[in-house]
Amino acid sequence: MEVMLYAEVYLVCIVVLGIVTFFAVRGGSDSSSDRWFKAMLAMFLLNFVANFFFKLVNGGVFAEPAHHEFSYALKTIYHLSLCLGVFAWCGYADSEQGSGIFQRRKSLLILLIPLALPLLMILFNLYNHLVFEISDTGAYVRHILFQVEMGYLLFGSGILAVRLVLRTRAESDPNQRAHMYLTATFPLCIALAWLLSWMGEAFPVICVAITAEILCLYIGGARNEISMDKLTQVNNRQNLIGFMDYKERNNNGNVYLMMIDVDEFKQINDNYGHLEGDAALVAVAGILKRACGPFPRRPYIARFGGDEFVIIAEADGYDMQDLEDAINAELQKVNAARQTYQLMLSIGVVHWDKGLDHKQVINLADIEMYQVKRARKLEREAGRAAERTAEHEQLRSKDWNGR
């Protein structure tokens, strides 16, 4: 009865993870966090399946007991997939905090070195049985290196969890901050598994804890996907309004709003097509992300609509000038590599005074931005007029000399 209950719990978790895996793969996203999440799903699904079959074949469900080789293979797969699943979670947590260590190929190769230690312990266990062994009666017996393995996994994932919690201090979006806190609770599953390992195999709480954690992460990720603009991969207008309502209630008097508009965007669509217009918007979103990245308190970026973007930041006037300078510097880098047209941005910055609602502060930022846009348009028109005048004078000079 106990064996069947244990197996049924694992079977339910396998079904739940299988459903999540199906929709995660079908979603088709190819971001770094999604790739790590899918890898984590695959590893823990394999982990649950291996332990499910081990319990069935070694728990007296079948008339014939399993061969030792088959039992060792199932438990070896269980331990290997556990290590790889925790490593995949570390990659996912790293992508959530935006450090990019797990995204750089050279750094990832270096990080594979500490991963090799538990993997080698498990593989060598086939010869020395220092991690676990299967007794003549089919019982699963843990040994000293099992404690080393679990402590190693808890230590590694715990470091990433602490870094993720510390990173939340720099996160301005409350929804993203809550998702980061939830992600950081994963090492508690490892700690729980380690604690319950002292009580034997009668408590399959680890699979339930990991399944609940992954399900919550998937729901949180899906919620974030809904709030993202599909084209530019920054927050959409619906999320922006919710965030501005939050900042309106929690305005510490040091909040600024920046309205950004792409100059002559209609001409890009008319001259180069709407696909190129979409590419221009993606390039602008990338410029804003890179410019905002180094700031200690990560500014909030959203697409307001069309070719307009909004940045909300907790800063002072000097910081906002630095941010505007960083945007212009990134814009120059992008334009230096372009062979066709040049991207131009008009930026309006206003201080969000306490007592102003989000409509009022957006209106003020709009006014500021359009003043900048009109001034730049007049400068461009004056420059073009001067060029036409110079060309006309040059032609007149040639005609006069020809006479």
Structure confidence by residue, pLDDT tens digits, 222-238: 887 788 888 888 899 98
Contact 85, 43 (CB under 8 A): yes
Give the separation between CA 134 and CA 261, rounded to whole angstroms.
67
The pLDDT of residue 232 is 87
How far separated are the first and last CA of the chain, in Å rounded?
A: 112
Write the single-letter amino acid at 349.
V
For residue 50, the number of C-alpha atoms closer than 13 Å in the C-beta half-sphere is 19
> Which phi and psi (to 5°) does residue 301 adopt?
-115, 135
Give the separation between CA 238 and CA 251, rounded to whole angstroms.
20
Concatenated DSSP letters of 182-244: HHTTHHHHHHHHHHHHTT-SS-THHHHHHHHHHHHHHHHHHHHHHTB-TTT-SB-HHHHHHHH
Contact 142, 132 (CB under 8 A): yes
The pLDDT of residue 382 is 63
**Taken in order 328, 329, 330, 333, is the CA torsion positive or negative?**
positive
**Taken in order 24, 28, 34, 40, is the CA torsion positive or negative?**
positive
Contact 39, 88 (CB under 8 A): yes
Give the separation between CA 383 and CA 391, rounded to whole angstroms.
12
For residue 121 the two structure tokens come to 């312990």
The pLDDT of residue 380 is 65
The pLDDT of residue 247 is 86
3-state secondary structure of 305: strand
Strand 255-262 with 308-314, pairing: antiparallel
**Among 54, 111, 119, residue whose Cα is nearest residue 82:** 119
pTM, to two decimals: 0.77
Contact 260, 311 (CB under 8 A): yes
User: What Å distances lie between residue 303 and 7, 26, 240, CA to CA?
Assistant: 48, 26, 8
The vertex-29 CA angle with 23 and 31, nearest 5°, equals: 130
Contact 211, 186 (CB under 8 A): no
Per residue in 329-380, pLDDT (tens digit) is 999 998 888 878 888 898 998 988 888 888 889 999 988 888 888 887 777 6
The pLDDT of residue 128 is 86
Q: Name the stretches of the chain with pLDDT < 50.
A: 63
The pLDDT of residue 81 is 94
- Label residue 71 exposed, middle or buried (CB < 10 Å: 0-12, 13-18, 19+): buried
Estimate to the nearest angstrom the gap between the alpha carbon of 103 and the chain centroid. 11
User: What Å distances lie between residue 343 and 28, 243, 288, 311, 330, CA to CA?
Assistant: 30, 28, 13, 18, 11
The pLDDT of residue 392 is 64
The pLDDT of residue 318 is 64
